[in-house]
Amino acid sequence: MRLHPILLLFSVLLAGPCLGKPDNDNFGAGPAVTMELKNARWFDGQNFKRGTLYVKDGRFTSQKIKRAQRRMDLKGQFLIPPLAEANNHNLQNSWGFSRFASSYLNDGVFYAAMQCGEPTAVAAVRPLASQPATPDVLFTTACITSSDGLPLAQLMEPSDDPTAAKPKLEDFADKAVLIIDQAEQIAQKWPLVTSRKTDLVTLMLSRVESPDLRADPRQQGRLGLKPELPALIVRRAHQDKLRVIAHIETAADFALSVQAGVDWIAHLPGYFFHEGSSAETYRVSPEVAAEAGKRKISVITATAATALFRMPPERLAAVRKLQVENLRLLLTAGVPLLLGSDDFTSNSLAELRSLDALGVFERAALLRIASIDTPRTLFPKRRLGCFDNGCEASFLLLADNPLQNLDALAGIQLRVKQGRVLSR
């Protein structure tokens, strides 16, 4: 078994960096220029259109520009909108941002949502994000759990330093994470949520179908909110127009999240199986899927995270089989899907490849989720993922058709963000 994704985040944050070196090969952004893009092919969510595109003031325009500052004959090469990462933790502190931000742009990922960031660490990195030559990032600094919930197990692990004091719950409660165990605490502690100026609120749920686990000392700090609380927290968050994400593990967690009315669910159930569990613990029911589709609750796929767990081949095959079944069920029910990897060492390009390998999606549908649906869900007030008049002029230039060859994404010829060419 490997370290849980959200626990890996806090171990890096608290124990000190050890995963590689800073990425000093950063991108720079040129000035926003007018552009004429002749003989282009651009993705419209289903296929590629052909023609000439114009860019002015960082947006596509239907107005023909006679003397564009940058004129390019693309000779039939392919334009797609940039990708988005809806579930990660690797850009929410200065150490992570210095190592991974440029790799996001290198892989064509311009938009991201970071979940469960420690407020002080996020405050330091927020000014670095959403700049012309960095990814546009949403940060969650209101991560709500129980006094025996994730990620407290990792936060409270003793230090390797024998002289260091043993961590205590009060060292992290209502600081790194917010602790709510009773309904009356929601109103009492809500000023802690609003003061963090969070972009999103994350609720930690884990194995709500097994309340007996709360009596097991081995599960201390590895569970989540009590089942009577999520709906109450969602209602309060929505009063402040805050979107709510549920971190879930099992099908019961998924069902509770749907019942509570969250906006996003951060994992497809079954990205790994807990010890002693089987596929049945993680199989979404048709009734719950139908309700999620009716409510338009978005589900972040996060199948790439499975590769980070050590498991025998037969267990891995069972996990992948269940992922296929759950994905097909959600698609049939009309549940919106978002691209997100929950892979601390990578980004949503890894998730795109993981989903492609599962064989559930037509390539056009997969590319639409990655480059249109997910960016628009992250930033609903912006015109993203399109090449029409008034859309933000952010795109990737590919030499090959990604609908026929997904490896085309590994050879990005040009990156443009809001009319600015990005270069090393």
> pLDDT tens digit string along 280-312?
999 999 999 999 999 999 999 999 999 989 999
pLDDT in tens, 46-75: 999 999 999 999 999 999 999 999 999 999
Higher-scoring residue by pLDDT: 57, 276: 57
- Whether residue 354 contacts residue 87, with contact meaning beta carbons closer than 8 Å, is answered with no
Residue 1 has pLDDT above 50, yes or no: no
User: In this predicted structure, what is the pLDDT of residue 14?
Assistant: 43
Crossing angle for the helix pair 184-194 and 230-239, nearest 10 degrees? 40
Core vs surface per residue 245-265: b (16+ CB within 10 A) or e: bbbbbbbbbbbbbbbbebbbb
User: In this predicted structure, what is the pLDDT of residue 154?
Assistant: 84
In this prediction, residues 198-204 reach a mean pLDDT of 98
How many other CB atoms are found less than 10 A from the CB of residue 131? 12
Who contacts 161 (Cβ-Cβ below 8 Å, separation ≥6)?
none
Core vs surface per residue 25-49: b (16+ CB within 10 A) or e: eebebeebbbbbbeebbbbeeeebe
Higher-scoring residue by pLDDT: 58, 155: 58
Who contacts 298 (Cβ-Cβ below 8 Å, separation ≥6)?
263, 264, 265, 335, 336, 337, 338, 377
Alpha-carbon separation of residue 48 from 53, 71, 74, 76, 401 (angstroms): 13, 21, 14, 10, 9
d(CA 209, CA 249): 11
In this prediction, residues 245-252 reach a mean pLDDT of 97
User: In this predicted structure, what is the pLDDT of residue 72?
Assistant: 97
The DSSP output letter for 370 is I
Residue 13 has pLDDT above 60, yes or no: no
For CA atoms 338, 204, 172, 233, the dihedral sign is positive
pLDDT in tens, 82-110: 999 999 999 999 999 999 999 999 999 99
Residue-averaged pLDDT of the chain? 93
- Whether residue 51 contacts residue 378, with contact meaning beta carbons closer than 8 Å, is answered with no
Share of the chain above pLDDT 90, in %: 85
User: In this predicted structure, what is the pLDDT of residue 49?
Assistant: 98
User: In this predicted structure, what is the pLDDT of residue 5?
Assistant: 52
Residue 11 has pLDDT above 50, yes or no: no
pLDDT in tens, 180-200: 999 999 999 999 999 999 999
Q: How is residue 117 written in tokens?
A: 């960031």
| Distance of alpha carbon 47 from the chain centroid | 25
Alpha-carbon separation of residue 343 from 83, 304, 322, 326 (angstroms): 16, 7, 19, 20
- Residue 218 sits at the vertex; the CA angle it makes with 212 and 299, to the nearest 5 degrees, is 70
d(CA 334, CA 237): 25
Residue with tokens 């402040």: 240
User: In this predicted structure, what is the pLDDT of residue 6?
Assistant: 53
The pTM for the full model equals 0.94
User: In this predicted structure, what is the pLDDT of residue 157?
Assistant: 81
pLDDT in tens, 360-384: 999 999 999 999 999 999 999 999 9
For CA atoms 161, 166, 170, 173, the dihedral sign is positive
| Distance of alpha carbon 30 from the chain centroid | 28
Residue with tokens 């963090």: 196
User: In this predicted structure, what is the pLDDT of residue 112?
Assistant: 98
Q: Which domains does the chain have, with CATH numbers?
A: 31-81+386-424 (2.30.40.10), 82-377 (3.20.20.140)
Rg (CA), the chain: 22
Residue 24 has pLDDT above 70, yes or no: no
Q: How confident is the model at residue 265 (pLDDT cuts 50, 70, 90)?
A: very high
Q: Where are the alpha helices (H) located in 207-347, listed in sequence order?
A: 230-239, 251-260, 286-295, 313-332
* Amino acid identity at 297: I
Residue 314 has pLDDT above 70, yes or no: yes
Q: How confident is the model at residue 23 (pLDDT cuts 50, 70, 90)?
A: low
- Whether residue 151 contacts residue 7, with contact meaning beta carbons closer than 8 Å, is answered with yes
Helix, strand, coil shares, percent, the chain, to 5? 35, 20, 45
Max CA distance (Å), the chain: 73
| Element (DSSP H or E) covering residue 110 | strand 109-114
The DSSP output letter for 182 is S
Q: Which of 416, 387, 413, 390 is nearest to 402 (CA)?
A: 413
Who contacts 123 (Cβ-Cβ below 8 Å, separation ≥6)?
none
Residue 279 has pLDDT above 70, yes or no: yes
